Structure 1
Amino acid sequence: MRREIFETIKLSIPIIIAQLGVILMGVTDNLMVGRFLGAVPLGAAGLATSLSFLVTSIGFGGLGVIAVLISQAKGQNDTAEIGRLFRAGLYVAILMSIVLGLVGMAIGMNMDALGQTPEVARLAEPFMYYLSISTLPLLIFVAARQLADGLSYTRVAMIVTVSALCFNALVNWLLINGIWIFPKMGLNGAAAGTLLSRIYMAVAILVYIYKTKHFSRYLVAARRVSTELVVKILRLSVSVGFQFFFEVAAFSLAVVMIGWLGESQLAAHQIAINLASTTYMMATGIASAGAIRVGRAFGEQQPKNVRSAGTAAFVLVAAFMGVWCITFLTASDFLVSLYLKDNPEVTQIAATLMIYAGFFQLSDGIQATGLGTLRGVSDVNVPTIITLIAYWGISLPLSYVLAFTFQMDVEGIWIALSAGLTFSAVFLTIRFYRLVRLKRPEPSNLPIA
């Protein structure tokens, strides 16, 4: 167990930093928008970012299955299969980005129908267009990084993402404020910065993969795209993607409901959810590392190692999110002050929401790890049903009832979201340990979508 924990930590740290870099681009956008432009643009940016993440979550989350398949192929020493999986994954990413980008555009064109205030809807529409266009480079980056992650070269995506984060902050500052020769684009400057940063990420990781010796033998071993693998990855990615979609949808639609309550509640929610999303993305780094370790043991036909790898991931994420739970509970005022100044109404609401965010940290981390470890053993159908019930059967209906029927305002919505996370965490964990009781973790013995 100690060895598994050590190996998972070593593998997960670069993934955590890379995941953190992706979400910190949104945090950077919101920090700069809040500081330079105020609460209403912050709410508009938060609305567009949440809806965009809702749409792209199917691809962003689903493409993670490629790393697991590559890890399983690595466990079987199948070099050609690894190359075929990489090329097929890029094709799937392009197909997904076209469909999801068009969906995002359609949402942007109908922003008024979401019941937001006129000013928030007006500002959010063009922001949504920029984010929809950036879906293509984002998903290409996500698909390409699966090769590196699946082969345990997790520092590659980390370096690319951290450098892109710095690039994004610089471009945001230049375009929001119109510094030097750059136009003053205001809120849309932050969206343009995200688009340019995602293009940089896609180009950088592809150049690295095709120009370094670490991956050359896999690319040479499989020069043609396998239609069969494209279909397989697309099928698995959609199933896994909907697991993420159901959760993200609950949070994104919660943003819409909070918008009905008022602009102050919307801005406060955006601050609290930004911070909670940051820790969640870090937890998904541990979950991804756990999925890769479980997948490798699964490919090697080592049932004891499958269980040990999964347990190590659960232990690590519980300790990690426990620390953040304490941080959110004890430093809520300071964390909120990083986003806004001179707006006591919003800061007071946000500080209260940070308390709720602290309490659901453990559930959030464990359910993410449950999904990851189950991906490692190629179990996707039952986890999809569990997440559907948790977020659409519990969180969303309960959000409306608590917020509007029982007049609990935005706090009621956060209580409902916590309930869904807890349900998902409990049943996904039970599902993993029930599966690994099987003596031989072979594909024929486990349910595979």
Structure 2
Amino acid sequence: MTPSLRSLVVNYRPELRDTIRLSVPIIIAQLGVVLMGVTDNLFVGRLLGAVPLGAAGLANSLSFLMSSIGVGGLTVVAALVSKAHNQNDPAGINRLFRAGLRVSILMSFGLGGLSVLLAFNFDLFGQTPEVARLARDFMLVLSGSLLPLLIFVAARQLCDGLRFPRVAMAITLSALFINAGFNYVLITGAGPFPALGLQGSALATLLSRVFMAVAMLLYIYRSGRFKPYLINAFRSLTTRQEAWEILRLGIPGGLTFFFEVATFSLAVVIVGWLGEDRLAAHQIAINMASVTYMMATGISSAAAIRVSAAIGQQSRTGAWRAGVAAFLLSISFMGVMAVLFLTANEWLVTLYIRDNPAVMTIAASLVIVAGFFQLSDGIQVVALGGLRGISDVNVPTLITLFSYWVVALPLSYVLAFPLKMDAIGVWIGLLSGLTIAAVLLTWRFFRLISRLQLPAENESVKLIVPQG
């Protein structure tokens, strides 16, 4: 570590410590969402082979694409809850919580319907007939799981915004074990359960998400720490204004998330045109990158909560320092992940598949490229979190649209087919889009923070941090 970097870390030690304390449970909870797809792919790849793995990967990617608008959009609720909490407004927190649940139900029906339509039109993506058939049935089950998933995401925003992220963490970890257990017994038919093959993996995800939603709501309504925000007097308060505010901020925020997820999902389709072995290899590499990305989104969520809390306390310097701390933490973590991907790529691939040398060789090369874009991915997602904390969502949406759909996807296609770089070309295109997004979003965050019409420092107030 250079002296200047060491000095920066020491100077920001309190912010780094608070960001780590807040982000680690969020990271684990965020990982739970994506790790269900990873768990599905691990069991499918080991128990059923390369073609079902490609189909499950395609369905998981496109289902995650559909849910991304809801998942990404609902994260604005935590920042709004944090701001209301630091303004000592329990009634406002109650309205935001109930409005978030209403919006989650609305989104789940809309996005679930689109998922069903997509499932019945897999032939549009040019996949092999067997992959399309298996992926369609898998995705129909995942479409039904959007309702419990988005209810869970909406409910956990109350916990995260009030700085109780361990609740979602504990529930998610429990759900992962449930998902893994059901994957095994429903795929293979262990004990009294029938052997359902690939469909058993999809049902495991559905059951796990139902558990997550029910457990989260039960905890919130039965735990004493949330009683000040759920008193009976608040039930008569209308939530229409808060619902519109969540939609106003959440839809652009969700689209920002959607554009990135869509890029990677459509990259799956492009790679599928290259062949089933490339598709399976791509799915292995993208699963690894998804894990590190979701961990970075935990830091991003912490950035949004801490920046919005500083805004609620009228402290521009606090918002600036919260942002810098999140960037430092993300760069450090993603740097370690980059080294891991670059040096242990072959071993990582063996966690997914061992009996197909062609797939393993391609996947190992893709993991190397994934190692190079770790830093860009981590920086851009933290910048988005910081911007969400200051309620800036429209311009970031345009930046991500340009970076991913104007640059990354067309470049991926050109490199893969006209320039004949195969699957590696697709990943180089993705790396280019991520890097452009990281530069533009980071520049916008610090530019807006420097222009905030707030006192440079407000010593008379302290951030309210509940204990427990």
**Same-fold call, TM > 0.5?**
yes
Q: Which residue of 2 aligns with 1:196?
A: 207
Picking from 233, 247, 250, the partner of 2:260 is 247
Picking from 403, 414, 417, the partner of 1:404 is 417
The answer to whether the 8 A contact 1:26-1:49 is kept is: yes
d(CA) in 1 for partners of 2:453 and 2:157?
26
Deviations 1:336-361 (A, max 9, x none): 00100110000000000000000000
Q: Which residue of 1 aligns with 2:366?
A: 353
d(CA) in 2 for partners of 1:181 and 1:325?
44
Q: Which residue of 2 aligns with 1:102?
A: 113
Deviations 1:219-262 (A, max 9, x none): 11521441111111112111100000000111101101111000
Q: Does 1:262 align with 2:293?
A: no
Q: Which residue of 2 aligns with 1:133?
A: 144
Deviations 1:3-30 (A, max 9, x none): 1111000000100111112111111100
Secondary structure of the corresponding residue to residue 192 of structure 2: coil
Picking from 29, 39, 43, the partner of 2:50 is 39
Q: Which residue of 1 aligns with 2:38?
A: 27
What amino acid maps onto 1:222 in structure 2?
F
Q: Which residue of 2 aligns with 1:384?
A: 397
Secondary structure of the corresponding residue to residue 18 of structure 1: helix
The answer to whether the 8 A contact 1:283-1:369 is kept is: yes
Secondary structure of the corresponding residue to residue 273 of structure 2: helix
- The within-5 A match list for 1:26-175 is 26-175=37-186
- The within-5 A match list for 1:426-445 is 426-441=439-454
What amino acid maps onto 1:48 in structure 2?
A
d(CA) in 1 for partners of 2:368 and 2:220?
43
What amino acid maps onto 2:98 in structure 1?
R
Q: Which residue of 1 aligns with 2:459?
A: none
Deviations 1:401-433 (A, max 9, x none): 111110111100000000000000001000010
The answer to whether the 8 A contact 1:377-1:441 is kept is: no
Q: Which residue of 2 aligns with 1:217?
A: 228
Q: Does 1:327 align with 2:336?
A: no
- The within-5 A match list for 1:272-287 is 272-287=285-300
The answer to whether the 8 A contact 1:134-1:198 is kept is: yes
d(CA) in 2 for partners of 1:94 and 1:206?
14
Deviations 1:159-183 (A, max 9, x none): 0000000000001101000001001
d(CA) in 2 for partners of 1:109 and 1:417?
28
Deviation at 1:441, TM superposition (A): 4.2
Q: Which residue of 2 aligns with 1:446?
A: none
Deviation at 1:440, TM superposition (A): 2.5
Q: Does 1:394 align with 2:395?
A: no
Q: Does 1:338 align with 2:351?
A: yes
Q: Which residue of 1 aligns with 2:382?
A: 369
Deviations 1:61-115 (A, max 9, x none): 1100000000111111111100100000000000000000000000011112210
Q: Which residue of 2 aligns with 1:305?
A: 318
What amino acid maps onto 2:453 in structure 1?
R
Picking from 238, 246, 271, the partner of 2:251 is 238
Aligned residues: 442
d(CA) in 2 for partners of 1:110 and 1:174?
30
Range 17-26 or range 198-207, more displaced: 17-26
Deviations 1:344-397 (A, max 9, x none): 000000000000000000000110000000000111111111000000110111
d(CA) in 1 for partners of 2:409 and 2:447?
28
Q: Which residue of 2 aligns with 1:187?
A: 198
Secondary structure of the corresponding residue to residue 379 of structure 1: coil
Q: Which residue of 2 aligns with 1:178?
A: 189
Q: Which residue of 2 aligns with 1:17?
A: 28
d(CA) in 2 for partners of 1:307 and 1:347?
44
The answer to whether the 8 A contact 1:301-1:440 is kept is: no
Alpha-carbon RMSD across the aligned residues, in angstroms, is 0.9
With structure 1 as the length reference, what TM-score do the two structures score?
0.97
Deviations 1:177-220 (A, max 9, x none): 00010011000100000000000000000000000011111011
